[in-house]
Amino acid sequence: KVDGLNPFLFTYKVEGNNVQVLSQASGPWNQVVGWQQKSDDVNEATEDSQAEAGAPDTDPGKVKERHELELKLEELHAERLVLFGRLSALQDLDIAQKSSFKAFGAEAADPAQEQAMKDAIGQVLLDRKWADPAQVDALKGKGVGELHQYLANTLEAAETVVQEQLANTRVESARTAIELAKLANNPLPDLLLPVQVAAKDVSARYADLMLLGDYYKALEGITRNSCLRPAAIMDQVRALEASYPLAANPHGVLRQVNDALAAYDIAYASYIRQWKEVADDSEHDRAANVATPIVQAVDRIRKDLKDFDYSARITTSEQVRHAAVQASTYEGISQAVQAKGDIVEFSYEIEPRYTDAGPCALKTIKGTHAVHVKGGWKIDWGTGITGTFGIKDESFRLDPDPDVQGSSILVANEQDARFRPGLAATMHLSPRSCRQFKPQLMAGLALDMTELSTGSFFLGTGLLFGRQELFSLHGGISFQRADVLKSGLVEGRSYAADAIDASDLVEKQFTSGWFVGLSYIITKQEKID
Helix (H) or strand (E) holding 90, with range, is helix 63-106
3-state percent breakdown (helix, strand, coil) of the chain, nearest 5: 50, 25, 25
Q: Which helix (H) or strand (E) holds 496?
A: strand 494-496
352-403 pLDDT tens trace: 887 765 677 677 888 887 777 777 788 889 999 998 888 888 888 888 888 8
Q: Output the DSSP codes for 427-456.
A: EEEEE--SSSEEEEEEEEEEEETTTTEEEE
Segment 223-269, tens digit of pLDDT: 888 888 999 999 999 999 999 999 989 999 999 999 999 999 999 99
CA 505 to chain centre: 83
Contacts of 284 (CB under 8 A, 6+ apart): 275, 276
- Give the residue extent of every domain in the chain: 1-21+334-355+366-372, 36-57+186-322, 59-183, 377-528
Residue 26 identity (one-letter amino acid): S
Cβ–Cβ contacts within 10 Å for residue 169, how many? Answer: 19
Cα–Cα–Cα angle for 244, 249, 255, nearest 5°?
A: 120
On the CB side of 82, CA atoms within 13 Å amount to 8
pLDDT tens-digit profile, the chain (529 residues): 788 888 888 888 887 755 567 777 666 766 666 677 788 888 888 888 877 766 555 555 565 666 777 788 778 778 877 887 777 778 777 777 777 777 666 454 577 777 878 888 888 888 888 888 888 888 777 777 777 788 888 888 888 888 888 888 877 877 777 776 665 656 677 788 889 989 999 999 999 999 999 999 999 889 888 888 999 999 999 999 999 999 989 999 999 999 999 999 999 998 888 888 777 776 778 888 888 999 999 999 999 999 888 998 899 899 889 989 998 888 887 777 666 667 777 888 888 887 765 677 677 888 887 777 777 788 889 999 998 888 888 888 888 888 887 788 888 887 777 788 888 999 999 888 777 888 999 999 988 776 655 568 899 999 998 876 689 999 999 988 888 888 878 888 888 877 788 778 888 888 889 999 999 998 876 654 4
